[in-house]
Structure 1
Amino acid sequence: AGIEIENTLDADVFDNVAINNTGGILVFNMPNLSQEGARTRIFRNLVHNNNTENFAAPGGAVAGVPAGSGIVINANDEVEIFENDLAGNDTAHIIISSVFSTNYASRETASAFDPYPETLYIHDNRYEGGGASPDTLELKALKLAMFGLTGAFPNVIWDGFLNPEKAVDGKLPPALNFCIAGEPGTQLLNVDGPGGYANPAIEQSQFQCRHEPLPPVQLSI
């Protein structure tokens, strides 16, 4: 990974160049650590061509990151992604996933650990290309079935896992929803991880919303 924000509270990630990694920028929570992270802003970054084959040691936190990932949000809440330039990331520019889509999903976790991403705000980003040659056999087959040889995944893909205790009619309530704004052509693809990729769907209207922007991080030094 180019940049990792792991189990971190209140982070600003901005004015960086993330190129030629497996994943450009990763924001994630690992289970069984002393705190869970939240409230990360990712803005004004260049995230291009992160298509390097994953060479991490098997079993490590990043070993399951697919090559071709631009920005990955995994099991993290209150993340704002805005005014970034994303181009040429072959799996997807933005990937939203739960701990159930990681290579350590089978590990025992503390009962209080929240494995689901919630309250994400994606807005005013710029995209070019991407999504045409995803990593992993499952995603390759899904892309071919839905978009053909010459097609591509939408800019944002989601593994489809949500907290059944918080869902309302099978959807996230407004306060926890993923919101996409200021990007008229951006679609979100739910790949249906819970169903074994059997019923993927583009779900756009559900995510056309806004959250309050996160405040800038202020350092008390």
Structure 2
Amino acid sequence: MNKILPFAALALLAGPAAAKTVTIAPGPDAQSRLQGALIEAQPGDVIALGAGRFELTDGLSLDVAKVTIRGAGADKTILGFKGQLGAGEGLLVTSDDVVLRDFAVEDTKGDGIKSKGANRIVYRGLRVTWTGGPKPTNGAYGVYPVASHDVLIDGVTVSGASDAGIYVGQSENIIVRNSVASGNVAGIEIENSRHADVTGNTATHNTGGILVFDLPNLPRGNGGDVRVFRNKVVDNDTPNFAPKGNIVASVRNGTGVLVMANENVQVTDNDLSGNATANVMVVSYRNAFTDAHYNPYPRRIEVAGNRHGRAGYDPQLPGADQLKAAFGGAIPPILWDGAGGPELGLLVTDKVPVLSLGLPQGAAMEAVKPAVIDLSKGAAIAPPAPVILPTGMEEAAR
């Protein structure tokens, strides 16, 4: 016997609604119109942001998979948060297969754009900045994917972050490329993450340029298999403006590339100059910790084929004047803290001197015993495999 199906059942039989493009223009009620579009989006939809300035008073959020948020260009579509009432992110994404591209985020109270547990996410052609310049009251992170796998950050520009401009944490299978980080505390930061390629970027006028490290007592640790190659890490000279108590508040002004408590890291084919403390620093984590699974030492680190310019001319280290005097006005451009020994597998074949501070784990920084050492005799590490992203992510970034 034929039955008349209810409307809801007919809708299910018809399948999902066709993907659509929803265009949102700046102007009155931009906050509610834009957030409403993000709530009502369906998988496959494009939220197209028109050219102009969106004046927003609260953070935005997206929790729908397979959505693209696309502006008219990083200098044409601007999400402005000077009037933000809360202290959260400008945009928070908690869904998979999202593409964020071609718009700017300015002056958020918290992080610029954060994604959490969002797999296969693409950040492309974005700009995040705090227009008042470096201040400890700026948001901590510019772009901030965390707890994710398959992350692509491509052609992003970030300035003014009071922690890291471009940060990826507790994640796996990551590419950060063709981006510019300037005027942040840390330019680019790979933290507690595994399988990352950091390439073709410029990190300049930060406190520290590119940082690769592990911290204890986080949900995910034991990071490594990181390649830092073909970047320009130059003139990182901004005084540290991180809020007191933040881990990056300890980053020395004039740090180029920093590797701390990580394993299987290659720093190769980079242009390194104008970093007043050191072009490359390889160090252990020197604070007390209770994490039984944490290894504070850098292991199997290779520094090779880099081009070094001026460095070490104003090291932010205890006894800096004596150190400079001992080495003719500038310390060597590559610095190892001296904790651990040959078992760490440190290999440096750049044609510049390496300075060991001679600091065993647990020793105070004031106890430096500097000496030039040769780290060129170790065995080469097995190079980390290139990161390969899932099909479709590269296409989404074009």
- The two structures share one fold, judged by TM-score above 0.5: yes
Does 2:247 correspond to 1:61? yes
Cα separation, 2, equivalents of 1:211 and 1:152: 30
How many angstroms apart in 2 are the aligned matches of 1:141 and 1:118? 30
Say whether 1:122 aligns with 2:122: no
> Aligned match of 2:332 in 126, 129, 154?
154
Q: 1:80-91 counterparts in 2 under 5 A?
A: 80-91=266-277
Cα distance change on mapping 1:139 and 1:88 into 2, 3 Å? farther
Question: Equivalent residue of 1:62, what SS?
Answer: helix
> Cα–Cα, structure 1 residues 50 and 99, in superposed 2: closer, same or farther, change >3 Å?
same
Name the structure 1 match of 2:377. Answer: 208
Paired residue for 2:323?
Answer: 143
Write the distance in 1 (CA, Å) between the matches of 2:338 and 2:245: 23
Equivalent AA in structure 2 for residue 15 of structure 1: G
Q: Retained in 1: the 8 A contact 2:194–2:226?
A: yes
Please say if 1:19 is aligned against 2:19: no
Amino acid at match of 1:13: V
The gaps in structure 2 that reach 5 residues or longer are: 1-185, 392-398
- Cα deviation, residue 61, structure 1: 1.7
Query: Aligned to 2:256, which of 70, 85, 88?
Result: 70
2:294 to 98, 113, 127: 113
Q: Is the 8 A contact 1:142 1:197 kept in 2?
A: no
Give yes or no for the alignment of 1:188 onto 2:354.
yes
User: C-alpha displacement at 1:198, in angstroms?
Assistant: 4.0
Q: Relative to 1, partners in 2 of residues 1:198 and 1:25: Cα closer, same or farther, differing over 3 Å?
A: closer
* Bigger radius of gyration among the two: 2
Partner SS, residue 116 of structure 1 = coil
Identity fraction in percent: 38
Describe the superposition over 1:158-185 as per-residue Cα deviations: whole angstroms up to 9, x where unpaired.
11112xxxxxxxx323xx311122x3x3
SS at match of 2:314: coil
Structure 1 69/198 Cα, relative in aligned 2: closer, same or farther at 3 Å? closer
List gaps (5 residues or longer) in structure 1: 163-170
**Which residue of structure 2 aligns with residue 97 of structure 1?**
283
Superposed CA deviations along residues 87-109 of structure 1, whole A, max 9, x for unmatched, are 11000000111110xxxx13x32
Question: Aligned partner of 2:324: which letter?
Answer: L
Which of 225, 244, 268 pairs up with 1:39?
225
RMSD across aligned positions (CA): 1.6
Cα distance in 2, alignment partners of residues 52 and 143 from structure 1: 22
Give, as a single letter, the amino acid of the residue that structure 2 aligns with 1:144.
Answer: K
1:24-80 Cα distance to aligned partner (Å, 9 max, x none): 000011110122211110000000000110010111121100000000011111100
- SS for the counterpart of 1:143 is helix
- Is the 1:52–1:68 Cα contact (8 Å) retained in structure 2? yes
Instruction: Report the CA distance shift for 1:47/1:200 in structure 2 as closer, same or farther (over 3 A).
Output: same
Indicate conservation of the 8 Å contact 1:72/1:95, yes or no: yes
Q: Which residue of 2 is the match for residue 168 of structure 1?
A: none
Q: Which has the higher contact order (CA 8 A, sep 6+)?
A: 1
Matched to 1:177, the amino acid is: G
User: Higher strand proportion, which one?
Assistant: 2
SS of structure 1 residue aligned to 2:388: coil
User: Paired residue for 1:166?
Assistant: none
Residues 147-205 of structure 1: CA distance to partner in whole angstroms, max 9, x if unpaired? Answer: 24xx211121011112xxxxxxxx323xx311122x3x32211112235434221111x
Q: Give the number of aligned pairs.
A: 200
